[in-house]
Structure 1
Amino acid sequence: MFSRLSQVTRHLSPSSLAQAARASAPGMTMATAVDERRTRTIHTAACLIIGDEVLGGKTVDTNSAYMAKWCFSLGINLKRVEAIQDDESEIIEATRRMSERYDFVVTSGGIGPTHDDITYQSIAKAFSLPLKLHPEAFEKMKRLSRPHPSQPKFDWDTDSPALKAKLRMVELPTDESRPLDQQFFFPYDDLWVPVTVVNGNVHILPGVPRLFERLLDGMKPLIIPRLVDPEGKGSYRVLFSTPLPESAVAPYLSELAAKVEPHGVKVGSYPRWGKKWNTVTLVGRDHDYLESLVSEVEKNVQGKRVKDEADNDSGGESDADA
C-alpha cells in the first residue's frame, strides 16, 4: 500500500484536539466528561472485536469491514480496528483506551448467555458501573423470543439455569445517576437487544453479523446530527487503473500526496497480484477538488479512471513489484 511509501497521515483536527483537552480539563467532573463524549462532533471512530473464536480462526470477522464502509459513507475517520480475546483485563484496557482517544467506539461480540460472554461485565468494571437488569430489554426478550419447534414453551417465571443464562444478556452496565434513554437505545421494535452506551461514547453491539449490521445502521439517526457534515454525505473515492508498477508511480504519488494533504485528501496505491493493472486511489470530502485532479493523475500514472478495480481485469501476470 502507498501508506508504506508516503508520509504518516495526521487526522486529529484542531476541533477534536480541543475536545480532548476539554474532556481532560482538571475542573471537569465525571458526569460532565460523559456528557461531552456523548454529544461531541464525531471525527474519529474505533472498532473493538471481542472473541476467542475470531482470533482462533473459527469465525471470520465481517463486522469491522461493515463498520469501515459505514464510517466511510458518513465521513467518519475509522482510526483503529482491534481484535482481542474474551479476557476481562484486555477488554477493560482496550475500552478505556479507545473511549479516551476516539469520538465514537463500537464493540462487537461477547454479549451472549454463556460463561465466556463477558463483555458487559468487563466494560461495567472498566468504568466502575454495576450490572443492572434492564426491565424493558427483559420484557422485549420475553415477548420476542421464540423457542425452537422441538423445545417446549420457555418458563419465564421459574428460576432455572436457563433463565439465569438468558438474564445475563439483559443485565447491562448502568450509570444510575444518568437517564436510561442516554444509555440504552432500541432501534427496532422487532429486536430485544439494545445498543448499550457506556461512558458517553462506547457502544456495545452483538457479534452476530446480522444483528451487528442492523443495530449499527439503526444508530444513524443519532449519529448523523453529530457529524462534521450533518447531511451525512461522507467521503468520496476516485479510482484509477495503471499498468505501471508501484516503484514507477511512487515518486509522483509522493509529490501528489504532499500537494493534496492540505485539502484533506489521501492518496493510495494498491498492487493487484495476478492482474495487469494496479490501482491508485484518491479519497476526500471535497468532491469538486477530487474531480479537478482526475486528468492530472491519469496522465502521470499512464492510466485511466475506473468505477471498480476489476474494470480492466483480463488475467495475466501482475506488473506489481515483488
Structure 2
Amino acid sequence: MAIGLIIIGDEILSGKRVDQHFAKVVQLLGARGLQLGWAEYLGDEPERIAATLKRTFAGGDIVFCCGGIGATPDDHTRQAAATALGRPLRLHPGARDSIQQRILEVAAEAGRTVDLEAADNLHRLKMAEFAEGAELIPNPYNKVAGFALGTHYFVPGFPVMAWPMIEWVLDTHYPQLFNRDARTEQAALVFEAAESTLTPLMEALEAQFALVKVFSLPHVGDAKTRRHIELGVKGEPAQTAAAFALLCAELERLEVEYTEI
C-alpha cells in the first residue's frame, strides 16, 4: 500500500494558481514517518477524473484527492467518484445538517433570518451529495464536509480547509502506520564525474542492499560551485550505513573527488 495524491483543477494546469498541496502533503506525511508514493495532476474533465479514480480505487492505495468537490459547474469530483464506483449520488444527512448549520450561523452573525428552502441554500446542499456509502471528513474551517470512499479521501482545493482535513484523516485512521519503518539518508557531493561512470556502482549497491535505494542528483555547476552529483543512499538505517560506507570506499578506489554532506 502506497500513499497517493491527486490534485484537480484547470487553474493549476493553466498556471493561474500555483499548487501548494504537493509540498504540504509531503511535509504532513514526513512529520509522521510516512512518505508520498505518487502524485497526479488533473484538469476539470469529468471523464478523465472518473477514469483515474476507477484505476486508483482498484489499486488499494491510500489516496488524497484535492479539489473539485464544490457545487459550481466546474466541480466534477463528487460525480466522478460515484461514476468510478458505479454508485449513485446520495444526499448525505450528516453533511446536509452541517451545511445548514453553517448557513444558520452565518445568518445569525449578520443579524438576519434565513430561509433554508431558498433556491441558493438548496443549491448549497449539492456539496452534501456523495457516492452512496461515503463517510464524512469534518471541515474545521466552514463545516462543509469532505468525504471518504474506502481508502480514498476527498477534500476541497482550498489549502486552509484541505490541510487540516488531511491531518485529521491521518491521525484518525492511520496512526498505526506512523514511524513504523525507520529510514535514514546519507549522501556525498561527487565532483567532475559522469553519471555513466557511477552507474555500475549504483546498480551494485541496490543489488547488494535490498532495503536501500540509491539516488543521483546532477548539478551542472554555477558561480558558487563546480559541476557535481549528489550521490546517496536511503532506506533502512543499518543497510543505509553499510551501503554508504561501501559507496565512499568505491569512490576512493575510483579516485573520484567527493565530500560527505
Give the TM-score, by structure 2 length: 0.80
> Which residue matches 2:174?
223
**Which residue type is aligned with residue 214 of structure 1?**
P
Q: Taking structure 1 as reference, are residues 245 and 70 closer, same or farther at Cα in structure 2, changes over 3 Å only?
A: farther
Counterpart-to-counterpart distance in 2, 1:69 and 1:250: 30
Counterpart-to-counterpart distance in 2, 1:231 and 1:75: 4
User: By how many angstroms is 1:108 displaced?
Assistant: 1.2
Q: Aligned pairs, how many?
A: 247
Q: Taking structure 1 as reference, are residues 58 and 153 closer, same or farther at Cα in structure 2, changes over 3 Å only?
A: farther
> Which residue matches 2:206?
257
Offset from partner CA, 1:99-152 (integer Å, 9 cap, x none): 11242122111012311111111111221223233333333334456759xx88
Q: Taking structure 1 as reference, are residues 64 and 234 closer, same or farther at Cα in structure 2, changes over 3 Å only?
A: farther
> Which residue matches 2:56?
98
Q: Taking structure 1 as reference, are residues 75 and 189 closer, same or farther at Cα in structure 2, changes over 3 Å only?
A: closer
Are 2:189 and 2:230, in contact at CA under 8 Å, matched by a contact in 1? yes
The answer to whether the aligner puts 1:243 opposite 2:191 as a matched pair is: yes
Unaligned stretches of 5+ in structure 2? none
| Residue number among 216, 226, 244 corresponding to 1:294 in the alignment | 244
Percentage of identical aligned residues:
22
Counterpart-to-counterpart distance in 1, 2:112 and 2:181: 47
The answer to whether the aligner puts 1:185 opposite 2:137 as a matched pair is: yes
> Which residue matches 2:233?
282
Unaligned stretches of 5+ in structure 1? 1-42, 307-322
The answer to whether the aligner puts 1:209 opposite 2:159 as a matched pair is: yes
Offset from partner CA, 1:245-276 (integer Å, 9 cap, x none): 3434333223222222x2x2111101134343
Secondary structure in 1 matching 2:5: strand
**Which residue type is aligned with residue 272 of structure 1?**
H
Are 2:33 and 2:179, in contact at CA under 8 Å, matched by a contact in 1? no
Q: Taking structure 1 as reference, are residues 80 and 154 closer, same or farther at Cα in structure 2, changes over 3 Å only?
A: farther
Counterpart-to-counterpart distance in 1, 2:113 and 2:54: 38
The answer to whether the aligner puts 1:116 opposite 2:74 as a matched pair is: yes
User: By how many angstroms is 1:156 displaced?
Assistant: 4.6
User: By how many angstroms is 1:157 displaced?
Assistant: 1.9
Offset from partner CA, 1:186-230 (integer Å, 9 cap, x none): 3x65552434111x12211111123222111112231132x3xx5
Secondary structure in 2 matching 1:169: helix
Secondary structure in 2 matching 1:240: strand
Counterpart-to-counterpart distance in 2, 1:55 and 1:235: 33
Counterpart-to-counterpart distance in 2, 1:250 and 1:223: 38
Give the TM-score, by structure 1 length: 0.66
Counterpart-to-counterpart distance in 2, 1:113 and 1:254: 51
Secondary structure in 1 matching 2:116: coil
Counterpart-to-counterpart distance in 2, 1:157 and 1:110: 24
Secondary structure in 2 matching 1:112: coil
User: By how many angstroms is 1:61 displaced?
Assistant: 1.8
Structure showing the higher strand proportion among its residues? 2
Are 1:272 and 1:278, in contact at CA under 8 Å, matched by a contact in 2? yes
Are 1:298 and 1:304, in contact at CA under 8 Å, matched by a contact in 2? no
Counterpart-to-counterpart distance in 1, 2:182 and 2:101: 38
Are 1:73 and 1:235, in contact at CA under 8 Å, matched by a contact in 2? no
Are 1:55 and 1:85, in contact at CA under 8 Å, matched by a contact in 2? yes
Secondary structure in 1 matching 2:219: coil
> Which residue matches 2:118?
159
**Which residue type is aligned with residue 271 of structure 1?**
P
